[in-house]
């Protein structure tokens, strides 16, 4: 029970941090957003952002669960960080890179939804928005 409460508190704190990062993005303060995001990977997951970014989406859940003992809570945090990274890259007009992170975030959100068998309206809306953005980016590929 303690572990579950801890993860829930971490997710709440992450929500506040992500709101701040998205605020930086809206203001066009991309370096501040990038620095805060970089710190968040380590602060919340105790992993270097570069390590997590390098994992191909096809191996994401297997590697993190099987080799690094991530829980669904950890995966949810990572999904939120990947989503925020995608938003930053999209705002910077790095559409190819942003699509990769949208896809990773969506994969993790879908995995969590399936594994936990819980339904969240907020998460469902976010997943729909991610799917729409992926479609937009796919349709506009050159």
Q: pLDDT by residue (tens digit) across 71-124? A: 888 899 999 999 999 999 999 999 999 999 999 999 999 999 888 877 778 888
Comparison of pLDDT for 119 and 68, the residue scoring more: 68
Count CB neighbours of 49 within 10 A: 17
pLDDT at 3: 62
CB–CB of 24/40 below 8 Å?
no
CB–CB of 74/61 below 8 Å?
no
- Give residue 111's Cα distance to chain centre: 13
Whole-angstrom distance, CA of residue 85 vs CA of residue 87? 5
pTM: 0.90
- The secondary structure of 29-58 as a DSSP string is -HHHHHHHHHHHHHHHHSS-HHHHHHS-GG
């Amino acid at each position: 029970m303690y572990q579950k409460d801890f993860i829930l508190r971490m997710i709440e704190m992450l929500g506040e941090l992500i709101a701040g990062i998205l605020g930086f993005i809206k203001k066009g303060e991309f370096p501040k957003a990038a620095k805060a995001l970089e710190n968040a990977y380590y602060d919340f997951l105790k992993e270097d952002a570069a390590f997590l970014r390098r994992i191909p989406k096809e191996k994401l859940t297997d590697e993190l669960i099987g080799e690094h003992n991530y829980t669904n809570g950890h995966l949810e945090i990572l999904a939120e960080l990947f989503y925020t990274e995608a938003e930053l890259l999209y705002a910077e007009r790095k559409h190819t890179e942003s699509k990769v992170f949208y896809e990773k975030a969506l994969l993790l959100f879908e995995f969590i939804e399936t594994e936990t068998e819980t339904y969240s309206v907020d998460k469902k809306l976010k997943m729909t928005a991610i799917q729409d953005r992926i479609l937009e980016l796919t349709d506009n590929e050159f």
